[in-house]
A = this chain, B = another copy of it.
């Protein structure tokens, strides 16, 4: 699987969407990770925008959200991980 796309609260959804669409076209699947409500919101917007991008290639995207544990600055954090699929 390709690198994990890490989304932050100040990430620009259109840019993330462009990167996401590129990975999906190449690999067929991608992983998006976000910690905190602001980041999760940007990640969801990015996936929504990316659906429009890949529609030009004749397919759609679906995602399966889940939880994953991370260590950030030595603290345990729970991130949301979206596995994004071609559909």
Q: Mark A46-62, 1 if CB is under 8 A from B, else 0.
A: 01100100000000111
Instruction: Please determine whether A62 and B40 come into contact, CB atoms closer than 8 angstroms.
Output: no
Chain A interfacial residues counted at CB < 8 A? 22
CB of A80 within 8 A of chain B? yes
Q: How far is the CA of A61 from the CA of B64 in the complex (A)?
A: 7
Encode contact with B along A24-53: 1 for CB under 8 Å, 0 otherwise: 000000000000111011001101100100
From known contacts A51-B66, A64-B60, infer whether A80 and B40 are also in contact, taking CB-CB under 8 Å: no
Interface residues of A (CB under 8 A from B): 9, 36-38, 40-41, 44-45, 47-48, 51, 60-67, 80, 85, 87
